[in-house]
Every structure is written in C-alpha cells, then in structure tokens.
C-alpha cells in the first residue's frame, strides 16, 4: 500500500540541507509501494519505442530531438486513472524513466550513425543497434557510482531544471487542486505558444533586432549580433535554473559572441583571400554565426572538456566514498543499514556489467577488419571517453538541462582520429572505426545525462535507485533497436543524410546536421588535416581562469559553446525567479511559501508545454507535404513587425508568470460561499 503521507514536496526539496538536517521524500524509505511491475514497465517500453521512432525521424530532418521525458510524465498522469487501482507515484516515475531513454539514445544515434551512410560505408543493421546498445549500457553503468554525489551529497546545490519540471508535473498531477489547475493552465499556454511559433510562420521565433539601424550596423561593422529565442520552454528553463546559474551561462555566451567573434573578425578582415584553418572560408567574408561555428565553438569544446576534468577531480573523493559504501553494502548484504531510497545496484553487478559490455565491444571492434591491437586501442578510447565524460554530462544536465554531447563527440572524433592515425589506421576502415567509437561515446553521454535526471526525480519522490537503474537497461535495449532500425529503414528507403546528389528531390533529403558535421570532421582528420590545438588550448585556459576565480566553469563553458539565442531567454527566466523569490522572502510564512511554490509550478508548466509543443511540431513534419506556410500571417516576412510582435508576446509570457505566481488561490470556503 502507498504511504498515506503528504503529497507535497518537503520545504527543503530544492534547498541545501542545514547541519544535521535530512531530506525526507514524499514516499518514505520504509514504505512498500509498487514501482516496476508489468504495468509501469510495459507502458514505459511502449512510450520508449513510440518516441524513439518519432524522435529519430524529426531529429534527422530538422536536427532537433524531442524532449520525451516531460511529455511522457504527463501521459503517465493520465494513464494512472485508467486502472481500477490508480498507478502509484513511483510507477509513474518508472514509466517516465524508461520512456525518457528514447530521446537520449536517439541523440547518440542520429548525431553519428547517419555519417556512416553519407560516407558510403553502409553498416549492417546489427552494427547500428550494437553501437547504440553498447554506448547506452556504458552510460548507465558509469553513472551509477556518481549517483550519491550528484543526487544526495550535493542536495540543493544543482537546480536540475528538467528533473524539477518532471517532479512538479507528477506531484501536482497526483494531488490535484488549485496547483494542478495552474500547472495545466501554464502547460496549455506554453504548448499552444511554442507549437505555433516553432511550426508555422506566425511570428519570428528568433530575434536579432537587425531591423534597427544600430543593431544592423553592429552586425555589419563589428560582427556583434544579439540573438534571442523567444519561446516558453527556455523561459521556464531559466526560471528553474535561477538567476545565478543563468547569469553564468549567459556570461559565457557574451564572451563568445561579443568578444571572441568580433576579435577574430577584426584580425582576419585584413586577409580577404586567405582561409584560416579550421574554417574553409576567409574570415573577412564570414558572418558572425560562421565565425562562431568555425572557430569559437572549438574554444568552447576545449573549455567544456577541461571543466569536465576539473569536475571529475573535485568529485573524486565523493565518488570513491560512494564506491566504498557500495562495497560495504555488498559485503554485508541487504541488511547493511542502507535505506531503500539509497540502494544502488550492487558493485559486483556494475563490475560484471562493465566487463560484459567491454568484452562485447572488443569483439565488435575486432570484426571491423583491423588488427587486435587497433581493436584494443579503440576499446580503450571508447571506455575512457565514456567514463570521464559521464561526469561532464551529469553536471551539465544538473545545472542547465543542456547536455553538450555534440561538443564531446567532436572531441572524441578528433582525439580518436589522431591516435589511430599514429597506428596506421586510415581510409574508409578508419572512418568507420572512429565513427563507431564516437557513436558509443555520444550515446553513453546522452543516456547518462537522462539517467541522472531520472534518479534525481526518484530521489525527490522516494523511488528505489536500484529499481530505476535496472529498468534503464530495458529502455536502452528497446530504444537501441528502434533507433537503429529506423535509421536503417530510412537509408534503405532511399533517403539521403546530409549532402545528396544533384537533382535529388528535397523530400528525399534528411539534413542530419550533427551527423554532417561529424562526417566532415572524420573525413578531414583521416585525410591528415591539421588540428587547431590553439583553439582547444584557449578554451582550456578560460576554464582554468574561471576555476581560479571560484566560478562554475562548466556552466560558463556551456554558455560559450551553446548558441547565444538559447542563453539570453534563460537569463530572463532567471531574473523572473529572482523577483518572485525576493518577494516570497519578504512576505515570509505560508504566503511567501505559496508564492514560491506557484512560481516553480508555472515554470514547470512552461517547460512541459514547450516540450509538448515541440513534439506536436515534430509530428506535423511527418505529415506528407507539410509546409510551414500552412499558417502564415501577413506580417511574417516584415522583420520589424514580426520581431516586435514576437517580443511583445514573450513579454506577455513574462507578465503571466509574475501575475499568476502572485495570484492567491481561492480557498475552498470562499469558493463554496460564492
């Protein structure tokens, strides 16, 4: 039976614990509540396969993977009431956790595997499935020892935006009342808003303000371009992140776009005919976005990689402590005193899983037509990158809900190519080998990021970590098969990934932007092109400076790497959070607490609705003959009008967050009297 306690999160759910204070989840550790039964696992696998297929196609077509976990959490709430015995809160966690694997495995697959087809290497279906399966399993296995550090030991130190949204959806939907109505209201508003702005030509989604003479002059003469993605999802994301984290994130974007981009252009503008590697076009002829992609983004990759290494060193003591606790728990058995809500899969099971995955991966590399020495080197590269970058992915997701998988995959391709070239591996075999390593690492990082979100959600609500960890492997298996076969079927059906022969119908081309970038990288390095060490080194130095100043280097590095338009609206959300929490602190008591809770519920609704709107928009693109012009406003093509309308509507969302959070709910007695 489910424990008959409160259905509200404790007051210290999102706050650092005081000395001697303990966090008590909604479902206490001593409660025996159904979690991973046939119902929850079955529905989780169904949603996992469904969202995997849809995400794979939409990701290949437009480069955007669906945010699956939040929509699935909403579907789980609806399903809970279909059965005579309503699904428990923890069963809904399992459904969401398994289903959410879809987006993470798809990201690993579509960022890398289509490049094999673009290179004419035509992998066997079993190879595509195995690459996803191996990477996904490694991602879960390497993340488990980090759980106590990221989930328990650092309670309240990371905002966990996506986990917060999922938790609020599950809790608010479970208890109903005015908070549930507020959540549904915010979800519906954001869903409609993001659906229309990202799917059709109603008003501009991206603002650059270049209809103003001053902004246009700055863009032309100094390559300073302000960008803003005016959608509800990122506004809610920034709110949950808070002002401090969103400011650091945006600061990284300011350095990248307003300092480094103009600086590189200033130096390169005197050489109108000279292309400076790694870009293939003269700097003098490049726009701000081209300079960012050609140079500055590599600096961001170097900063992220170095920040990840620093983060590993910082967490090493706690990770070793977590492993020590796990070993003691295994030696003493289940009666070792470790409470249910802190029980991981046994250390021996983790080691056995790593050994099995390692042996299977070694055999896989051995079948690629190379020597066993090359196979062992490739295995070492895959394991090292997957292990060390797992901490980077977990930290990034915990802080910003943005996983820099493409940047880490780029670094994997570069280092792997350099190492394997030293051992004489090149040509098509070398390209296949490097892309296989990259596919495994990319999937491992993506899955580990989603897993830490799931485990944090379970920690807040009272799930058993070992149960969540076990069912993850079922989700990885289902998603690996579904994503691998989807890519194979699209290739067999005559679709082209990225570049296509002249005269190919547009309907037969899937852009696969990330995979096209990975293809260009591996081709370049396997053809013995030089490496821009200076750019990676510059990023590493930025991280070291930030660490010396005591600033969160990974969040700043993410801001350097991510496009500016994703950072700026998050800062607006962080500022709203600052205003709401400031007022709640001044009010104090139950009134202040209610204001703070309503703000989080609304922000979670914006993220949930934005994710749903994105899913619906991606689904629309599956409709044959779909065109954005199906709905087009007369002013859409007029930048000054369209961007102004977009800005005013986004400000309207901001006012909605403020006033809805400040609106006191009508009490039951008052409602009856009315």
Tens-place pLDDT, residues 279-332: 878 888 898 988 998 899 889 888 887 887 777 677 666 556 656 655 655 555
Distance in Å from the first CA to the final CA of the chain: 38
Q: How far apart are CA 477 and CA 473, in angstroms?
A: 6
Confidence at residue 401, expressed as pLDDT on a 0 to 100 scale = 72
Distances (CA, A) of 546 to 295, 297, 563: 21, 18, 20
Looking at the domain assignment, is residue 498 inside a domain?
Answer: yes
pLDDT digits (tens, 9 = 90+) for 227-282: 888 988 889 888 878 898 889 989 999 999 999 999 999 988 888 888 887 787 88
In the chain, which residues have pLDDT < 50? 1-6, 333-335, 668-674
Alpha helices in 367-426 (DSSP H): 372-400, 405-422
Domain total of the chain = 1
Confidence at residue 473, expressed as pLDDT on a 0 to 100 scale = 94
Q: How far apart are CA 326 and CA 149, in angstroms?
A: 13
Q: How far apart are CA 610 and CA 194, in angstroms?
A: 5
Confidence at residue 65, expressed as pLDDT on a 0 to 100 scale = 66
Instruction: Report angle CA 379, 383, 389 to the nearest 5 degrees.
Output: 145
The sign one gets for the Cα dihedral 652, 556, 113, 115 is positive
Instruction: Evaluate the omega torsion of the peptide bond into residue 278 and state whether it is cis, within 30 degrees of 0.
Output: yes
DSSP 49-97: HHHHHHHHHHHHHHS-----HHHHHHHHHHHHTTSSSPPPHHHHHHHHH
Confidence at residue 145, expressed as pLDDT on a 0 to 100 scale = 85
SS3 646: helix
Confidence at residue 116, expressed as pLDDT on a 0 to 100 scale = 84
Distances (CA, A) of 661 to 127, 187, 259, 569, 586: 51, 14, 37, 19, 15
Looking at the domain assignment, is residue 582 inside a domain?
Answer: yes
Confidence at residue 6, expressed as pLDDT on a 0 to 100 scale = 47
> Which residue range forms the structural domain that includes residue 252?
38-669
Looking at the domain assignment, is residue 574 inside a domain?
Answer: yes
Looking at the domain assignment, is residue 359 inside a domain?
Answer: yes
Q: Which residues contact 440 (CB under 8 A, 6 or more apart)?
A: 108, 131, 134, 135, 138, 361, 382, 386
Looking at the domain assignment, is residue 12 inside a domain?
Answer: no
Looking at the domain assignment, is residue 23 inside a domain?
Answer: no
Looking at the domain assignment, is residue 9 inside a domain?
Answer: no
Looking at the domain assignment, is residue 558 inside a domain?
Answer: yes
Confidence at residue 502, expressed as pLDDT on a 0 to 100 scale = 62
Q: Six-digit token pair at 241?
A: 């992140």
Answer whether 459's CB lies under 8 Å from 25's CB.
Answer: yes
Confidence at residue 671, expressed as pLDDT on a 0 to 100 scale = 42
């Amino acid at each position: 039976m489910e424990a008959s306690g409160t259905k509200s999160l404790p007051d210290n759910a999102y706050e650092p614990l005081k000395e001697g204070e303990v966090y008590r989840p909604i479902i206490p550790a001593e409660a025996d509540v159904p979690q991973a039964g046939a119902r929850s696992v079955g529905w989780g696998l169904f949603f996992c396969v469904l969202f995997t297929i849809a995400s794979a196609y939409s990701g290949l077509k437009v480069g955007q993977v669906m945010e699956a976990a939040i929509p699935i959490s909403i579907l789980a709430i609806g399903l809970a009431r279909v059965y005579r015995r309503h699904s428990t809160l923890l069963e809904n966690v399992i459904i969401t956790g398994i289903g959410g694997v879809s987006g993470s495995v798809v990201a690993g697959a579509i960022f890398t595997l289509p490049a094999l087809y673009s290179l004419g290497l035509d992998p066997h279906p079993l190879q595509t499935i195995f690459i996803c399966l191996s990477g996904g399993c490694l991602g879960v296995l390497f993340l488990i020892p980090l759980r106590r550090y990221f989930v328990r030991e650092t309670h309240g130190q990371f905002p966990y935006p996506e986990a917060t949204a999922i938790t609020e959806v599950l809790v608010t939907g479970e208890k109903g009342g005015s908070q549930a109505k507020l959540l549904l209201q915010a979800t519906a508003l954001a869903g409609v808003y993001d659906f229309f702005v990202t799917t059709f030509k109603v008003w501009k989604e991206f603002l650059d303000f270049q209809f103003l003479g001053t902004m246009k002059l700055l863009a032309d003469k100094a390559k300073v371009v302000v960008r803003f993605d005016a959608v509800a999802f990122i506004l809610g994301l920034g709110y949950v992140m808070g002002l401090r984290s969103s400011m650091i994130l945006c600061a990284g974007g300011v350095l990248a776009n307003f300092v480094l981009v103009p600086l590189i252009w200033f130096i390169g503008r005197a050489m109108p005919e000279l292309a400076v590697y790694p870009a293939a076009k003269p700097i003098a002829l490049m726009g701000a976005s081209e300079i960012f992609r050609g140079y500055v983004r590599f600096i961001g990759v170097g900063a992220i990689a170095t920040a990840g290494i620093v983060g590993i060193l910082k967490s090493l003591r706690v990770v070793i402590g977590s492993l020590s606790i796990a070993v003691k728990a295994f030696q003493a058995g289940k009666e070792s005193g470790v409470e249910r809500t802190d029980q991981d899969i046994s250390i021996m099971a983790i080691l056995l899983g790593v050994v099995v995955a390692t042996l299977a991966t070694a055999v896989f590399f051995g079948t690629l037509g190379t020597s066993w020495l090359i196979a062992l080197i490739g295995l070492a590269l895959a394991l090292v990158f997957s292990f060390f970058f797992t901490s980077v992915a977990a930290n990034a997701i915990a802080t910003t809900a943005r996983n820099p998988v493409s940047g880490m995959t780029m670094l994997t391709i570069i280092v792997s190519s350099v190492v394997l070239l030293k051992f004489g591996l090149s040509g098509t075999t070398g390209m296949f080998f490097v892309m296989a390593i990259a596919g495994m690492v990319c999937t491992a990082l993506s899955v580990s990021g989603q897993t830490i979100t799931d485990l944090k959600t379970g920690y807040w609500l009272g799930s058993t970590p070992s149960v969540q960890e076990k069912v993850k492997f079922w989700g990885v298996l289902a998603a690996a098969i579904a994503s691998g076969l989807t890519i194979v079927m699209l290739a067999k059906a005559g679709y082209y990934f990225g570049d296509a022969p002249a005269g190919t119908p547009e309907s037969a081309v899937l852009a696969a932007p990330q995979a096209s970038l990975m293809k260009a990288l591996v081709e370049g390095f396997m053809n013995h092109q030089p490496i821009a060490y200076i750019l990676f080194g510059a990023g590493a130095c930025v991280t070291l400076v930030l660490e010396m100043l005591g600033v969160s280097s990974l969040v700043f590095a993410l801001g350097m790497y991510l496009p500016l338009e994703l950072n700026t609206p998050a800062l607006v959300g962080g500022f709203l959070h600052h205003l709401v929490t400031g007022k709640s602190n001044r009010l104090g008591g139950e009134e202040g607490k209610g204001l703070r809770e309503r703000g989080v519920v609304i922000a979670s609704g914006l993220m949930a609705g934005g994710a749903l709107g994105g899913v619906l928009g991606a689904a629309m693109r599956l409709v044959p003959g779909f065109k954005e012009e199906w709905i087009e406003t007369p002013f859409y093509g007029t930048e000054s009008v369209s961007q102004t309308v977009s800005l005013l509507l986004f400000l309207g969302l901001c006012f909605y967050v403020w006033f809805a959070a400040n609106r006191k709910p009508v009490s039951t007695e008052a409602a009856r009297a009315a």
